[in-house]
Amino acid sequence: MLLAGALAALAAVLAAPLTPSPAHAADPVRLTVGITNEVDSFNPFLGIEAESYEMWALTYDYMITYSMEDMSPEPGLATSWETSEDGLTWTFDIREGVLWSDGQPLTARDIAYTYNRILDGGPESSSWGSYLTSVTKIEAPDDTHVVLTLEKPNAVLPLLPIPIVPEHIWKDITEKEVKSYAAEPTDGQPVVGSGPFRLVEGTAGGSTYRFEKNPDYWQGTSHLDEVVFQVYKSDDPMVQALIKGEIDFADDITPLQVKALEGEDGITALNGDSPGFDEIGFNTGAIDTETGEPIGDGNPALADPKFRHALGYALDLDQIISKVYQGAGLPGDTIIPPAYSTWKWDPPEDEAFSFDLDKAGSLLDDAGYTEGSDGKRTMPDGSPIGTLRLFARSENKKSVDTMDYFKEWLGELGIDAELTTMESNKLTNIILDGEFDAFHWGWYVEPDPDSMLSYMTCDQRGGWSDSWYCNPEYDDLYAQQNGATDDAERQEAVQRMQEILFEDSPYLVTAYNTIGEAYRSDRFACFQPQPDPGGILLFQYGVHNYLNIRPADDAGDCDGNESAQGPEAAGGGAGDDDDGSSTPLLVGGAVLLGAVVLGGGAWAMRRRSTAAYRE
């Protein structure tokens, strides 16, 4: 029924009259990108949505950037780096001649200033503090060197995907003021940054964000004069806008829409491999992080890991992948995707989640949640469980459909549930206030698992933690792996952490998914996937494509980049697979989504969790 409805909706879109703009370079050259989620903050110390990370990448530079092939570290503002033999001193050489967009020079002192704001432990540390674990001092002895001093080795360095802000602007913004600082254009003046584009129009929560290229960018100027992001309430009108030629790129569309767009004149569509997962997250016990007192009104049953774990057997993940994800994904189990086989832990076959309502019911019985005379399950003391409040993101059909199924399966277990849908930014506040029982969302996961693992630590409650989960054993293992210098020791700790999460089940991981994208290949060319091959075309690590894509009629051979999609892609559909999906590679029993290489890099578009310090 869900699939039929989606097909009908898409048929209506494709039947709409087509009025595409001429397929040649415009003056100015403007790339218009359709998205279905708003930016929640242009302040790089506050924002939590993936869209915000994309805007920061256009506005600000990073000390380290990432390769297109495997997201391994590459020079950014730092041209090189070295570490002492004991791993306690890291020295970065900073390039000269970089300018802020207001003409002032960017030096190592700006980088040290940015990192020290995080190290000081204010609101800035909530988003970025995990990258500076064990760092005790950050100095810029001169304009071209940054030195980090550590109390113990940090296994994550040199990964520092932190936007660098201008000291001469931010030094006047206090810790208190940063909580409400918008970092948006004011009085017609663009935001001061050093990135390839300048934000000239747009406010958080708005529907349009416009960037103009930075003519003094140190990597060379973009072939694009402007990039405009247009927010749509759902993907159907966004796809229709693409077909009509009102936008040039549609992000995060469904596999069904990718399939339907195959063969459309002037459009290329594909499913790019995403090293991420979707999950149902539970309110394990929200607290006031200063007093430790409970906040919100979470259902007490969900504070019990036995109750949560039993619900893992009430999810038919094969049906979810087939009907909700239209086959473009894999059933999930842990927070580390199978792409990262070095780190991933797999549940034993006899303990792995499977759709087994009888087993789920038996586990609930054993934990004291038995059925009453009315067929409804009760708390161990005999009181009613009540109705579980489920939340889904209204702009994401997969989120809504997954929770619809979950509600149905809970009902078969004798547990009542109600589903509420709302926009992402509103749901974030519900989670922060602890006024929920379960939600559906997802994460992008970095090739190094440290940051993803950190979100589940006790210290991240009220910050990046959205399940309010806390387990001291897990925290001890997190600290152990973060400072490990032996790869085998670290791998063992990371895998045990996943085992603990599987047993405690603050998350039920539902899917390892793909991302559907489509663009007007009669207008633009030279998109390179990341990772390469098999990855996505926008919302990547870094700004490579924003610098290198260009009008199709001016593309030539994309400067000799054989991986870039040239103008010959026009009208080309979704690639080599008949179903429009990327084909996972099977190596040694582990599914590799694309060609992700371990050992470095970061998938820095970490989507939101609870938004600390947003008030």
What's the mean pLDDT in 29-39?
Answer: 96
pLDDT at 474 over 80: yes
φ/ψ of 138, rounded to 5, equals -130, 125
Return the closest-CA partner of residue 453 out of 464, 438, 442. Answer: 464
Per-residue pLDDT, averaged over 523-538, amounts to 92
211-269, pLDDT tens digit by residue? 999 999 999 999 999 999 999 999 999 999 999 999 999 999 988 899 999 889 999 99
pLDDT of residue 122: 85
* pLDDT at 481 (0 to 100): 95
Neighbours of 375 (CB within 10 A): 8
Which has the closest alpha carbon to 574: 267, 265, 274, 325? 267
Residue type, 350: D
What is the reported pLDDT for 568? 56
The answer to whether the beta carbons of residues 454 and 301 sit under 8 Å apart is no
DSSP lists the bridge partners of residue 287 as 294
Q: Which two tokens stand for residue 284?
A: 């394990």
Task: Please give the Cα distance from 311 to 161 (Å, whole number).
Answer: 36
Q: How far apart are CA 363 and CA 415, in angstroms?
A: 14
Residue 27 backbone zone (phi > 0: left; psi -120 to 50: alpha; other: beta) = beta
Alpha-carbon distance 595 to 614, whole Å? Answer: 37
* Mean predicted confidence (pLDDT) in 420-439: 95
Distance CA 69, CA 558 (A): 17
pLDDT of residue 611: 30
Angle between helices 487-504 and 472-482 (to 10 degrees): 160
Mean pLDDT, to the nearest integer, of 41-56? 93
pLDDT at 338: 86
Which pLDDT tens digit goes with each residue over 146-194?
A: 999 999 999 989 989 899 999 999 999 999 999 999 999 998 899 999 9
Using an 8 Å Cβ cutoff, are 378 and 416 in contact?
A: no
Q: Which of 39-48, 62-71, 407-416, 469-478 shows the lowest mean pLDDT across its residues?
A: 62-71
As a whole number of angstroms, the distance between CA 26 and CA 30 comes to 7
In percent, the amount of the chain with pLDDT more than 70 equals: 88
Encode 487-517: b = buried (16+ Cβ within 10 Å), e = exposed.
eeebbbbbbbbbbbbbebbbbbbbbbbbbbb
pLDDT in tens, 108-152: 999 999 999 999 988 899 889 888 989 999 999 999 999 999 999
Q: What are phi and psi of 331, to 5 degrees?
A: -60, 145
Q: Please report the pLDDT score of residue 241 as a whole number.
A: 98
Backbone angles phi, psi at 220, to 5 degrees: 105, 155
Which residues have a Cβ under 8 Å from the Cβ of 420 and sit 6 or more positions away?
A: 389, 390, 391, 392
pLDDT of 3 strictly over 80 = no
**Cis before residue 531, ω within 30 degrees of 0?**
yes
Handedness of CA 17, 22, 28, 34 (dihedral sign): positive
Give the model confidence (pLDDT) of 75-104 as tens digits. Answer: 999 999 999 999 999 999 999 999 999 999
Mean pLDDT over 322-336 rounds to 93
What value does the mean pLDDT take over residues 544-571?
A: 86
Using alpha carbons only, what angle is made at residue 486 by residues 484 and 489, rounded to the nearest 5 degrees? 75
Question: 10 Å Cβ neighbour count for 608?
Answer: 24
pLDDT in tens, 271-308: 987 788 999 999 999 999 999 999 999 999 999 999 99
| Contact criterion met (CB below 8 Å) for 223 and 29 | yes
More confident residue, 362 or 464: 362
Buried b (16+ CB within 10 A) or exposed e, 334-351: bbbbbbbbebbbbeeeee
Q: Residue 535 has what pLDDT?
A: 87
Query: How does the average pLDDT of the chain come out, rounded?
Result: 88
Domains and CATH numbers, the chain: 2-58+181-274+516-590 (3.40.190.10), 61-175 (3.90.76.10), 276-513 (3.10.105.10)
Q: What single-letter amino acid sits at 249? A: F
Q: Tell me the three state secondary structure of residue 276.
A: strand
